[in-house]
Chains A and B, each alone.
Chain A
């Protein structure tokens, strides 16, 4: 599959860019209009986390989709989607630091030490940072083969992301299980692809 270069860069890429911005607009609008329910700050933190995880999984879906549709152009969308994932994860973290702890660093440090779901979430966002930083063309060139190796960190990061959500949930694990299944499919496809060659 292939679409014209014109359609790709004039329609597909900007549409996807706008689409991925919608959740951020939704929450900004929701806070402004006070339409996020009784506990809007929690809704914002949770919502941004949900979208961080969703867009992270979307990033991981690009290679399998490229293979499925035999559509090499898709790969050129991956950086943007990946950076969007980082965008939502960082906003999620910022929401947590601000609305949950009001930048009380001692409390935050206790939280990281005492709560396993915070620990893994924090590790995930720390590991994600070098991937975002090295996403420029210059860095890709400079790092060469090491770049690919470094960016394989996305696999453990996504597992930590799902684990973070799973451990956060009090009892009803339906949602985290759905994310875990999707992640298993996306990673499984890679294994299958690697060993069936």
Chain B
């Protein structure tokens, strides 16, 4: 078998969806009759691939659950709304405007933006501020790769992101539930962290519209709303952006929004979470369990004040 280097791996070379799906199904069945340990082996071997050191080996959330249970207010405020309504979004062609404090501003076609990157798989925990969580096999590339290509200047302290604003394609934007377009932001060191991903797919397939096609952010140590979907604009700025949820309710949602079981929310206890597909709740971990990679970013900061 040819051993490939990680950076040579392209999207269609990693485990494809049907293998994944079949493997999950097989393991479920096998577990049911108690032979997983014996007969499960060759199947897993067949789907062998380069595993990112950042990936978790926890049980994956079902593809159906990931694609039908979403918060994407641009397509309605109900969890099932995005899966029903997001078909109106046109993701090809797709342009991303890059502006602000960088040497290479401009309007980039998505294909051009993706050409030099190598898409890899990252299996991350995903924790929503509402107290539920998933384990998602993302496809994507480090945001740092893209940032480096744009050559930010020394003034670039933050990265600002904006979702597409087009009520014709995003019917939820006809109602002013949030101040459209949806915006998010990261501090430069957060954006450059190797965990921070530009997501392009799930389970080896392209992102579905309801999951933020064609390009979204994935920041696994922060609550889900930080991982902005369907990105149309990126700006490098000197000042800290005001993200949409902070704007909507600054007492409940902050800029950092790091997963933290000790910082309570008026609506949800953050001490535990319901892993979608499981009955019992599990304990929520500080930085969603990614403290080893990111805790140093917040050294000396009062996490209760900077929530």
- Interface residues of chain A, those whose CB is within 8 Å of chain B, are 37-39, 41-42, 100, 102, 107, 110-111, 114-117, 167-168, 170-172
Contact = CB atoms under 8 A, between A and B. Distances in A.
A66 B274 CA distance: 45
A38 B69 contact: yes
Given A115-B267, A116-B266, A171-B77, 19 more contacts: A37-B79, A38-B79, A38-B276, A39-B79, A39-B132, A100-B281, A102-B280, A110-B269, A114-B266, A114-B269, A115-B266, A167-B267, A171-B73, A171-B177, A171-B178, A171-B249, A172-B73, A172-B77, A172-B177
B68 A37 contact: yes
Nearest to B269: A111
Q: Decide if the interface of chain A is mainly helix, strand, loop or mixed.
A: helix
Given A37-B69, A172-B177, A107 B79 contact: no
Interface string B12-23: 000000000000
A41 B279 CA distance: 8
B248 A42 contact: no
A170 B132 CA distance: 15
Contacts of B39: none
30 contacts: A37-B68, A37-B79, A37-B80, A38-B62, A38-B64, A38-B68, A38-B79, A38-B276, A39-B69, A39-B79, A39-B132, A39-B276, A41-B274, A41-B279, A42-B132, A42-B274, A100-B281, A102-B280, A107-B269, A107-B272, A114-B266, A115-B267, A115-B269, A116-B266, A117-B267, A167-B267, A170-B267, A171-B73, A171-B178, A172-B73
Interface in B242-281: 248-249, 264, 266-267, 269, 271-272, 274, 276-277, 279-281
Given A38-B69, A102-B280, A171 B267 contact: no
Interface in B142-177: 177
B65 A107 contact: no
Interface string B225-241: 00000000000000000
A38 B170 CA distance: 23
Nearest to B279: A41
B274 A39 contact: yes
A167 B271 CA distance: 20
B99 interface: no
A40 to B, nearest CB: 10
Contact of B281 (A38, A102, A168): A102
B11 interface: no
A172 B74 CA distance: 12
Nearest to B66: A38
Contacts of B73: 171-172
B130 interface: yes
A27 to B, nearest CB: 16
Given A37-B80, A38-B69, A168 B280 contact: no
A37 B73 CA distance: 18
Contacts of B248: 171
Given A110-B269, A170-B130, A38 B178 contact: no
Among all A-B residue pairs, the 3 with the closest Cβ atoms:
A38-B69, A38-B65, A172-B77
Interface centre among B248, B267, B276, by most chain A C-beta atoms within 10 angstroms, is B267
A110 to B, nearest CB: 7
B117 to A, nearest CB: 31
Contacts of A168: 267
A116 B79 CA distance: 24
Contacts of B281: 100, 102
Contacts of B264: 114
